[in-house]
Amino acid sequence: MADQEPLGREYLLHEEIGRGAVAVVRRATRRTGGAEALAAKLLRPEYASDRRVRELFLREEAALRDLDHPNIVGLRDLVVEGETLALIMDLVDGPNLRRYLEFRGGRLPAAEVAAIAGQTAAALAAAHAQGVVHLDLKPENILVVPGAGPPRVRITDFGVAVLLHDAERLAPGGTPGYTAPEIFIGGPPTAAADVWSLGVLIAELSTGSPSFDPGLLPPHLAAVTRDCLASDPRQRPPARRVAAYLRNAGGNAGAEPTPIASAFSPPAPVGLNDTRLRPGVTPPAPPPPPEPVAPPSRWRRGPLITLGAVALIAATLAGINAAASAGERGSQAIQQISVPPKITPQTTDATVEPTAGITTTPVAERLRVTLAGKVEDGAGTLAISIRDGRAIAYICDGQRVESWLQGTAKAGKLALKGKDGSTITGTFDADSAEGDVTVAGDTHAFEVGKVKKGSGLYRTAARVRGAEVEGSWIVLDDGSQVGVLSRDGVPGPAPSLDVTGGTVTIDGSTLGTTSIDVDSGEGF
């Protein structure tokens, strides 16, 4: 990128400091100078140019500005100019929690988990009290503030996922593995959905994986994690209660477990008076008896609010089946995404109601793997990334022909489609996939194998020297790579990608890239 570019009447854009599937983040300063550290989150052109997206962000700007909390990255301004939509925010000059976790070896001590999760819960509680939900809480959206002493974190991107969801520019839900299961069946974004994500976060920080072994959880964090992950959203505790519990738990990380069941097992049903949320943000109560539908929150003003009246919200996403036990209401089958079994507190005298067990999930539907290789007939190179029943694929010939596809990978069968009419059908397992791919009107057979982490799919999009640039790459295990780069929609061979740094140089400008990461869910 150039050293600096103007943004609106007040700001200058500097180097890129991050990017994701929805936006690029660049360091920003005011034209008038000053020491204020700012970051500009620029939505990608396909979102920024959408009239409904722009209207929603303009309408809710005041609500986002109201989120004033030490653990929330504050919104300072909103710039809408031409086809540019940028959120001006505080700059946090530190790593996101994903990178911090990797630096610390993949998991954290119990006291540190309680401190980070407690701050996160406090931030959620403050936002929920304003009627604002996040919907995409994950380590990538939590920033670690540099400094000595216990870690301090700040949550970023409040409102972004919800508004894009409302504008029908994002599929239901945020990131697989972190998003509450009811969201995937059309349920409205609620405070309880954020509490689910908080439960996943506590589990991942404690055990090193969002799909965790319950036996690895510290005893004093087991019950609160279980209750955050309750399949019925109404049974999850409000964020403010979780924050209060974790504040106390942080100082007693090495102590014997106290009667945590009294605080979190089982949780009391959550209502409007309990959460202090605006109408419509609390999960709706199921019939019978029929209850009047609560008026929509500031985030839900359209017909989607009618989806909230779901009887005993059954969490559904590809492949993880559960059956309600005798202690649960009803006997209907439910499905969940990255759902660990509910956890019984380790040591307590309190009486705990029985909880639902979860059946063994088919291996293929919990699979996280990238498969890549050459397509027959010299038609190009194909890579398929599979994560918990979802699949993303890219095929290209390194010259002009390319296609991105997405779909399902369930029960050993692949079914993917692209916007240009391309399709993939076939079979797969943990080590390979085979079948047929149709691209540019021609059908070719393929057989691809598992590749190691670092290989796989990468993509970037930016404006370089006045041109809209989009690039995609496949990197194979032997280090070879192939890709296509489009300038203003005209495809051609892609320049070489620096896999180690995750960057590519185009016309003298160095751009960051996004990987399709089956472990973290990035790119999905």
Residue range 120-161, pLDDT digits in tens: 999 999 999 888 888 889 999 999 998 767 789 999 888 776
Q: Where are the alpha helices (DSSP H) in 191-260?
A: 191-207, 219-228, 239-250
The C-alpha R_g of the chain, in whole angstroms, comes to: 23
Query: How far is the C-alpha of 477 from the C-alpha of 451, rounded, in Å?
Result: 6
Considering only 283-292, 386-395, 402-411, which range has the smallest mean pLDDT?
283-292
97-274+314-335: in CATH 3.30.56.10: no
**507 a catalytic residue:** no
| Residues forming CATH 3.30.200.20 domain(s) in the chain | 5-90
What local confidence, expressed as pLDDT, does residue 404 receive? 95
CB-count exposure of residue 489 (10 Å: 0-12, 13-18, 19+): exposed
Query: How far is the C-alpha of 56 from the C-alpha of 300, rounded, in Å?
Result: 11
User: Which of the two residues, 445 and 163, has the higher pLDDT score?
Assistant: 445
For the record, the structure tokens of 115 come out as: 């401190």
Coil, strand or helix at 96: strand
Tell me the whole-structure pTM to 2 decimals: 0.52
Q: At residue 299, what is the residue type?
A: W
pLDDT surpasses 80 at 374? yes
Query: How far is the C-alpha of 201 from the C-alpha of 124, rounded, in Å?
Result: 13
**CA angle, corner 326, sides to 322 and 330, nearest 5?**
70
Residue 99 backbone phi and psi in degrees, to 5: -70, -35
Q: Do you find a cis peptide bond into 289, omega within 30 degrees of 0? A: yes
% pLDDT > 90, the chain: 37
What local confidence, expressed as pLDDT, does residue 330 receive? 32
Distance of CA 155 to the CA centre of its chain: 13
Average pLDDT over residues 45-58: 78
Query: How far is the C-alpha of 489 from the C-alpha of 476, rounded, in Å?
Result: 26
Q: At residue 358, what is the residue type?
A: I
Q: Which of 292, 374, 286, 275 is nearest to 332 (CA)?
A: 286
Which residue among the candidates 50, 68, 90, 136 is catalytic per the annotation? 136
% pLDDT > 70, the chain: 74
| Residues forming CATH 1.10.510.10 domain(s) in the chain | 97-274+314-335
Average pLDDT over residues 304-330: 30
Topology of domain 5-90, CATH: Phosphorylase Kinase; domain 1 (3.30.200)
Average pLDDT over residues 192-219: 90
Query: How far is the C-alpha of 337 from the C-alpha of 180, rounded, in Å?
Result: 8
Show Cβ contacts of residue 169 under 8 Å, excluding neighbours closer than 6 positions.
46, 47, 50, 52, 53
User: Which of the two residues, 21 and 71, has the higher pLDDT score?
Assistant: 71
For the record, the structure tokens of 489 come out as: 């929609």
For residue 249, is it left (φ>0), alpha (ψ between -120 and 50) or beta?
alpha
In sequence order, what DSSP letters do the residues of 448-509 get, joined into one string? EEE--BTBEEEEEEEEETTEEEEEEEEE-TTS-EEEEEEETTEEEEPPPPBTTTTEEEETTE
What local confidence, expressed as pLDDT, does residue 164 receive? 66
What local confidence, expressed as pLDDT, does residue 3 receive? 67
Residue-wise pLDDT tens digits, 475-485: 999 999 999 99
The answer to whether 31 touches 10, Cβ cutoff 8 Å, is yes
Residue-wise pLDDT tens digits, 456-477: 999 998 888 888 899 999 999 9
Show Cβ contacts of residue 306 under 8 Å, excluding neighbours closer than 6 positions.
293
Per the listing, tokens 């505790």 go with 237
